């Protein structure tokens, strides 16, 4: 304790009085840990917020004043319902929307795509609350799901080890030429032309009567089913990025060899871009389906999901192997 002249004593609306030196030391500590608009009076159990002009009148360090104002601006943007910082790395852009809803935003500065409502990667048709639950579950169960992160599987016919090097789930064994589905390992010829049975999880109808251990095992089995397909489409997206680079290289070679012009080959780039958009959407249908209650609505959704998957894999197969003779087939394909 020490004696202070009244000229150096300052007080807030709450009535707590402290000297300017104490206020400044307190503000320095709070600002250094990132507190700005939520900065409270240092009186015991006092929740009175300190006004910005009061803080600036006590803080003398230019660097600390600048940091405080940056933190204050950040907090104002985060608290405003119509504003959001672009989540792109080191991107200074602030996005404004007239309505706060789940919508895709593409930053003009860094080209980052994100959902305006929650700020993470765009995730339609899954809503923000469900995708957060899904991502949390994936993080919690990551160790359990480690075994499915491998890139190889055995051919169901000749049992040779195969590495998936493209985005398409229609895989052909390089040794025995057997065509099969990467996800369920079923024969591609009998896989179904309208939709994929391997995209629909088949629940045990008697699981409610089973033991707690059996129910837990069934719950894990269900999660792994959807997680494997979610992860597979994410990997396919990365592989199809490599396919796009190969397509661009192949077009350059064709043009240089006078085998058509850039316009003649534009259909391949359009098909690859459509494939990327649909693959991204399909990936986010699996968290949505995981949390969807069993019933007619889920059956309808799974039918539409499976039809999209069938058309998407058909397009993926053709894009990875397309030449100019396949132009009509690619151009005429329609994905729902």
Q: Which residues are catalytic?
A: 168
- CA 283 from chain centre, in angstroms, equals 10
For the chain, how far is it from start to end, CA to CA, in angstroms? 75
DSSP for residue 144 = G
DSSP for residue 118 = T
Tokens of 214: 């059996």
Residues 333 and 336: their CA atoms lie apart, in Å, by 10
Residue 142 has phi, psi (to 5 degrees) of -60, -40
CA dihedral 185, 191, 196, 197 (to 10 degrees): -70
CA dihedral 285, 289, 292, 293 (to 10 degrees): 150
How far, CA to CA in Å, does 329 sit from each of 46, 270, 317, 324?
A: 71, 13, 12, 10
**Other beta carbons less than 10 A from residue 242's beta carbon:** 12
How far, CA to CA in Å, does 66 sit from each of 30, 55, 69, 210, 276?
A: 14, 12, 5, 63, 43
The closest of 281, 312, 276, 305 to 125, measured between CA atoms, is 281
**Other beta carbons less than 10 A from residue 120's beta carbon:** 13
């Amino acid at each position: 304790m020490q004696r202070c002249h009244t000229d150096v004593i300052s007080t807030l609306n709450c009535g707590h009085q402290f000297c300017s030196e104490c206020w400044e030391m307190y503000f320095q500590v709070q600002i250094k840990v990132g507190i700005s608009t939520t900065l409270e009076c240092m009186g015991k159990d006092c929740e009175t917020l300190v006004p910005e002009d009061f803080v600036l009148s006590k803080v003398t360090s230019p660097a600390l004043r600048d940091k405080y104002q940056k933190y204050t601006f950040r907090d104002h943007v985060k608290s405003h319902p119509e504003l959001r910082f672009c989540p792109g790395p080191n991107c200074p852009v602030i996005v404004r929307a007239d309505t706060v809803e789940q919508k895709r935003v593409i930053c003009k500065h860094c080209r980052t795509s994100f959902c305006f409502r929650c700020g993470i990667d765009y995730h339609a048709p899954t809503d923000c609350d469900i995708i957060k639950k899904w991502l949390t579950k994936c993080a919690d169960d990551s160790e359990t799901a480690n075994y499915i992160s491998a890139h190889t599987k055995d051919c169901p016919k000749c049992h040779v080890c195969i590495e998936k090097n493209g985005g398409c789930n229609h895989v052909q064994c390089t040794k025995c030429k057997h065509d099969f589905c990467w996800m369920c390992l079923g024969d591609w010829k009998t896989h179904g032309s309208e939709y994929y049975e391997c995209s629909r999880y088949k629940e045990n109808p008697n699981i409610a009567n089973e033991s707690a251990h059996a129910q837990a095992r069934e719950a894990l089995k269900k999660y792994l089913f959807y997680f494997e397909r979610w992860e597979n489409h994410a990997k396919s997206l990365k592989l199809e990025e490599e396919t796009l680079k190969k397509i661009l290289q192949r077009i350059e070679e064709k043009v240089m060899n006078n085998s058509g012009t850039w316009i003649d080959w534009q259909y391949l780039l359009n098909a690859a871009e459509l494939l990327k958009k649909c693959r991204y959407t399909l990936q986010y249908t699996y968290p949505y389906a995981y949390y969807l209650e069993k019933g007619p609505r889920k059956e309808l959704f799974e039918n539409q999901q499976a039809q999209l998957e069938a058309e998407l894999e058909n397009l993926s197969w053709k894009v990875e192997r397309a030449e100019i003779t396949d132009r009509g087939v690619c151009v005429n394909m329609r994905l729902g």
